[in-house]
């Protein structure tokens, strides 16, 4: 059972101190805990712990081969960069919170309206809103300017839906005047805070003298949630039930789990391999060093080793080599990757070719850390309505009492048979149009000129209401519970008694009405064919309607069945009491309400079938065809019926028509049926696996549930064998299950959708893409990437995904290469320095090597394009290399490892040769070797970079200039003794230019 809270209305002495105030805080840190908390978070990473250990060991003078600043400097710099970024982000959150907390709002205290800051609102306070005000917390409505207790709210900031929604005051508050609302007292019993913005199961009791102690049930229709705006209503007031971070919006906030890309996983494995190699090198050199010390070193008079050392003497040389070899793992790789990935995300934001010109919507990367995964996508799971289609519903055809309209013209609204039936007042047609016009949650809005527009949460409902209006059945006004229908200048009024809302389980929506003229009570319903036709009254023939549904589905039209029946007064009263009781429960309210609805929704008089067209978006077939050529498999997951989904799939190039393609159906209501169908499809798939034939399987939600529960192994095998799947009548949870199934098979998945029912699927996938569509911004806000149209997915994957993968693959391996290069030189030097763990390079040079000398060449590669964008789009097969991970794997890394080893041998050989010829000082030898490393960095970047721009030239060769300038300054110091070094350094290019031929 859920925990409950009791909210005492307008009572400053009760309960307000039991709950938090309305202060919003999205901050991660405070001034006092920032440093320790941030350091704790940074050192929770294994790699950072490793570098901290190395830095601490370097504080031990006996074992450190270099000044500790060579490690502490880069470590502090990198941590400072990360901490600064975190501090800036947190400061921006603080400013946003401060603005919201200090906003002034009106509340009632001791019967008097006061203006206070939003952060001072307490649970139980009565808050007053004026038109266009934003709700500062979650409110239960008590009164509005409308005499019938309705108001309109915009919830776009909460769920992304731009259409206005109706909110009503509880029945217990009906009729209260302005003055009484200042003095109202009562208690609201509601669940503990949760993040479900679709539900609010609560009860309210008002204290005498306002009303008796009868319980009044509350639903989400009686609330205004935080961040919603009051529209088209002069004022409204409500009691604060959830405040601060306990509001539904506050509970919904949170940092999603970080996603690990395939490249990041490979880098982690390579880092582990390098660490193991490093330990082996340290052990070998440590043992060799101790042996040399005990044999050769003690015989040399100038070494002067003591005869007896401390107990840890054997560890000194191995620890020196550990510190010397620690540079094998580049300390800067994490910051470098984070920086370039942020740039990849900005490239997506700045791409003018991914702007929806119709709405001006730009593509946006919310997650800046997974761009390279776009280039390795293997499965795309897509919604249908609003994602592949425009979600602009147009009423096309209908079948009423066995007569079909619109078959000849393709448009029932212009069909002469339909127009004649309307003008003659055919009873069946009239009733059909009434259900179209009334059975919905549409809000009619009349402009000053008298024109009526409709605000609807569902595009299906808006299409039906508009079609009914074109056929003279105009939904004219909704005032409280009274609905006005104007037919041919004749006003018809109904009183709405109850609304049985649509759910994904019931798949239908019903409304209970009372005819204001005759007093009859009517039930009107609309929904999917399987949720309406089986509940027809006994004796009614439904074959014609079933055939019409199938015919329309074959044309790719969406179908809705419309029905009604008359209710007796006694039947309704008995049912209404059960319905109110179910609505009053705080435990399993949704399940109990559905059970009670089932008691009423039967014995329907089926009126007919409405068919709605939802056209494909521009470029959808071409996009899918191109991405399939790139080796990407497609699964369509839709809540629509099977035949409609199949037709859309054929139109979208999901699967080829016969004989090139073949569809295999998996249906069934029982385990045995599903098992037989699954085995049959699997057998066909295995046989056809070696054939080029395009085979797809189709499964409905019922069979899918059985397959996932009882035959998961067989269904998983089917998922691996199939390139294409069409899953119909699936629920949001089933969509997420299918994503998880493919991920368990080690496939990189991308999920794309546009509605709230796609959010779970999008969050579950490796990459989530949301479309900013007519169903709102819920999917776009929950996704890693948002785009305006489905066709932009092609460019997102082929251009941005592929470039990001190529660049990240180079950057990560290059970072290891440059660290291994200088580390190998140190190791080679140890063989001519008594295997003592002495460093060839001084501390400043080692620190500058990573921070200054080799940083820019790494970062400029983010501009590289191995192939032009046009070439990539025309030849999508190029993506195969990325999907297979051909540019970053143990084999390619071995190549970079060998390159670093070879280059180290060449640099060290030339350096020692120069030393032998000219008897240089060790400082000179060190600088010559460092110069060679930096020249090689520039040449390797030049080789690997394909589109070499002027900017890249300046960046790469600018590092060399920086190196020489720094050393020139050093050489100018009188005490440096380096006057002769610069001449030799400037002569080095003649050496290094030849090395390019030995790559």
958 to each of 168, 801, 920, 950, how far by Cα in Å? 68, 30, 27, 12
Rounded Cα gap, residues 581 and 569, in angstroms: 18
The three-class DSSP label of residue 399 is strand
CA atoms within 13 A on the CB side of 183: 9
Q: Which strand ranges, in their side-by-side order, compose the sheet holding 164-168?
A: 164-168, 150-154, 229-231
User: How far is the C-alpha of 156 from the C-alpha of 147, rounded, in Å?
Assistant: 26
Rounded Cα gap, residues 256 and 265, in angstroms = 19
Token couple for 972: 């100018």
Rounded alpha-carbon distances, angstroms, from residue 590 to 343, 575, 585, 594 = 46, 16, 9, 6
Stated length of the chain: 999
CA–CA distance, 343 with 844 (Å, rounded to integer)? 30
C-alpha 476/C-alpha 486 separation (Å) is 6
Closest CA to 864 of 794, 805, 787: 805
Burial class (CB in 10 A: 0-12, 13-18, 19+), 17: exposed
Q: Which of 21, 373, 383, 758 is catalytic?
A: 383
Enter the tokens of residue 952: 């890249």
Instruction: Give every CB contact of residue 989 below 8 A, 6+ residues apart in sequence.
Output: 935
Other beta carbons less than 10 A from residue 919's beta carbon? 7
d(CA 97, CA 27): 8
Query: What does 346-397 look like in DSSP terms, one character per residue?
Result: HHHHH-GGGEETTTTEEPEES-SS-GGGGGG--EEEE-STTTTB----EEEE
Q: Rounded to the nearest 5 degrees, what angle is found at the Cα of 73, between the Cα atoms of 70 and 79?
A: 135
Task: Kindly list the distances between the CA atom of residue 118 and the CA atoms of 137, 155, 234, in Å, as whole numbers in the listed order.
Answer: 9, 19, 20
Under a CB-based contact definition with an 8 Å cutoff, are residues 125 and 239 in contact? Answer: yes
Spatial neighbors of 539 by CB under 8 A, at least 6 apart, are none
Burial of 63 (C-beta count, 10 Å sphere; 0-12/13-18/19+): buried
State the number of CA atoms in the 13 A half-sphere of 780 facing the CB.
Answer: 24
Return the SS3 of 887.
Answer: coil
- Omega within 30 of 0 (cis) for the link into 209: yes
Please give the span between the terminal C-alpha atoms of the chain, in angstroms, as a whole number.
Answer: 69
Phi/psi for 578 (5° steps) reads: -70, -40
Peptide bond into 144 cis (omega under 30): no
- Which contiguous run of DSSP H or E holds residue 109? strand 104-109
- For the question of residue 640 being annotated catalytic, the response is no
Beta strands in 624-741 (DSSP E): 633-637, 661-666, 694-700, 724-728
**Dist CA 407 CA 419 (whole Å):** 14
User: How crowded is residue 470: how many other Cβ atoms within 10 Å of its Cβ?
Assistant: 14
CB 211 within 8 A of CB 225: no
Half-sphere exposure of 91 (CA within 13 A, CB side): 7
Asked if 905 and 958 count as a contact pair (C-beta separation under 8 A), the reply is no
* Residues designated catalytic: 383
């Amino acid at each position: 059972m859920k925990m409950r809270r009791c909210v005492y209305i307008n009572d400053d002495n009760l309960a307000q101190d039991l709950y938090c105030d309305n202060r919003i805080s999205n901050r991660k840190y405070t001034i006092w805990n920032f440093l320790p908390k941030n350091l704790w978070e940074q050192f929770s990473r294994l790699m950072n712990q490793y570098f901290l250990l190395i830095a601490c060991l370097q504080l031990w003078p006996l074992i450190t081969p270099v000044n500790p600043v060579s490690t502490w400097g880069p470590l502090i710099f990198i941590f400072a960069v990360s901490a600064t970024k975190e501090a800036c982000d947190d400061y921006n959150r603080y400013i946003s919170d401060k603005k919201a907390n200090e906003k002034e709002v009106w509340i009632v205290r001791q019967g008097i309206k006061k203006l206070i800051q939003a952060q001072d609102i307490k649970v139980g306070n009565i808050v007053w809103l004026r038109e266009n005000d934003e709700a500062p917390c979650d409110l239960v409505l008590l009164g509005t300017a409308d005499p019938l207790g309705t108001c309109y709210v915009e919830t776009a900031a909460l769920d992304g839906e731009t259409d206005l929604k109706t909110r009503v005051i509880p029945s217990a508050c009906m009729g209260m005047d302005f003055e009484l609302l200042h003095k109202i007292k009562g208690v609201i019993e509601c669940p503990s805070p949760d993040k479900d913005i679709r539900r609010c199961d609560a009860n309210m009791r008002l204290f005498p003298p306002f009303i008796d102690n009868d319980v009044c049930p509350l639903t989400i229709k009686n609330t205004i949630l935080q961040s919603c705006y009051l529209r088209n209503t002069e004022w409204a007031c409500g009691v604060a039930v959830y405040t601060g971070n306990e509001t539904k919006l506050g509970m919904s906030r949170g940092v999603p789990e970080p996603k690990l890309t395939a490249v990041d996983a490979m880098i982690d494995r390579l880092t582990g391999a390098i660490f193991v190699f490093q330990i082996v090198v340290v052990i070998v050199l440590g043992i060799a060093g101790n042996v040399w010390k005990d044999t050769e070193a003690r015989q040399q008079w100038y070494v002067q080793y003591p005869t007896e050392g401390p107990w840890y003497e054997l560890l000194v040389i191995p620890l020196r080599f550990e510190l010397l070899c620690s540079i094998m793992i580049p300390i800067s790789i994490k910051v470098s990757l984070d920086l370039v990935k942020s740039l990849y995300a900005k490239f997506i934001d700045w791409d003018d070719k991914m702007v929806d010109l119709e709405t001006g919507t730009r593509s946006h990367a919310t997650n800046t850390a997974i761009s390279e995964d776009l280039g390795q996508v293997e499965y795309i799971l897509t919604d249908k309505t609003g994602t592949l289609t425009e979600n602009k519903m147009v009423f096309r055809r209908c079948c009423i009492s066995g007569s079909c309209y619109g078959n000849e013209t393709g448009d029932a609204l212009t069909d002469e048979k339909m127009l004649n039936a309307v003008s003659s007042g055919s009873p069946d047609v009239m009733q059909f149009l009434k259900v179209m016009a009334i059975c919905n949650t549409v809000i009619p809005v009349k402009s000053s000129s008298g024109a009526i527009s409709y605000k609807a949460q569902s595009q299906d409902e808006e299409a039906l209401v508009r079609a009914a209006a074109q056929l003279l059945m105009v939904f004219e006004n909704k005032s409280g519970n009274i609905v006005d229908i104007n037919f041919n200048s004749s006003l018809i009024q109904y009183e709405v008694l109850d609304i049985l809302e649509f759910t994904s389980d019931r798949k239908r929506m019903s409304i209970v009405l009372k005819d204001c003229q005759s007093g009859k009570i009517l039930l009107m319903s609309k929904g999917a064919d399987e949720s309406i036709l089986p509940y027809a009254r006994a004796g009614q023939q439904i074959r014609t309607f079933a055939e019409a549904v199938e015919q329309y589905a074959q044309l790719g039209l969406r179908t809705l069945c419309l029905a009604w029946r008359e209710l007796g007064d006694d039947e309704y009263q008995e049912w209404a009491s059960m319905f109110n009781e179910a609505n009053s429960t705080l435990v399993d309210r949704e399940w109990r309400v559905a059970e009670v609805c089932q008691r009423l929704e039967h014995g329907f008089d089926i009126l007919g079938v409405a068919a709605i067209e939802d056209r494909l978006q521009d470029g959808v077939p071409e996009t899918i065809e191109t991405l399939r050529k790139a080796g990407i498999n497609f699964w369509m997951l839709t809540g629509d019926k099977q035949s409609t989904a199949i037709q859309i799939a054929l139109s979208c190039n999901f699967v080829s028509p016969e004989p090139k393609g073949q569809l295999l159906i998996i249906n069934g209501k029982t385990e045995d049926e599903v098992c037989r169908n699954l085995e049959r499809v699997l057998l066909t798939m295995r046989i056809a696996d070696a054939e080029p034939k395009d085979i797809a399987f189709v499964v409905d939600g019922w069979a899918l549930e059985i397959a996932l529960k009882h035959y998961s192994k067989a269904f998983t095998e089917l998922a691996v064998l199939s390139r294409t799947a069409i899953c119909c009548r699936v629920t949001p949870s089933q969509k997420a299950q299918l994503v998880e199934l493919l991920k368990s098979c080690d496939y990189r998945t991308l999920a794309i959708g546009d509605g709230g029912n796609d959010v779970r699927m999008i969050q579950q996938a490796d990459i989530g893409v949301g479309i900013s569509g007519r169903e709102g911004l819920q999917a776009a806000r929950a996704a890693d990437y948002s785009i305006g149209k489905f066709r932009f997915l092609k460019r997102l994957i082929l251009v941005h995904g592929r470039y990001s993968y190529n660049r990240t693959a180079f950057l990560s391996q290059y970072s290891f290469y440059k660290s291994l290069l200088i580390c190998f030189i140190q190791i080679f030097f140890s063989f001519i320095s008594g295997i003592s763990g002495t460093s060839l390079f001084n501390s400043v040079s080692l620190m500058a090597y990573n921070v200054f000398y080799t940083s820019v060449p790494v970062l400029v590669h983010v501009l590289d394009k191995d192939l032009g964008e046009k070439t990539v789009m025309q030849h999508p097969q190029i993506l195969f290399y990325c999907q297979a991970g051909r540019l970053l794997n143990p084999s390619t890394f071995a190549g970079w490892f060998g390159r670093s080893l070879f280059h180290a041998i060449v640099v060290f050989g030339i350096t020692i040769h120069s030393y032998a010829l000219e008897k240089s000082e060790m400082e000179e030898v060190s600088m010559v070797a460092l110069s060679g490393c930096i020249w090689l960095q520039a040449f390797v970047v030049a080789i690997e970079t394909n589109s070499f721009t002027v900017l890249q030239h300046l960046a790469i060769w600018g590092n060399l200039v920086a190196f020489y300038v720094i050393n020139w300054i050093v050489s100018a110091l009188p005490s440096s003794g380096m006057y002769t070094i610069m001449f030799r350094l400037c002569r080095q290019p003649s050496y290094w230019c030849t090395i390019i031929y030995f790559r």
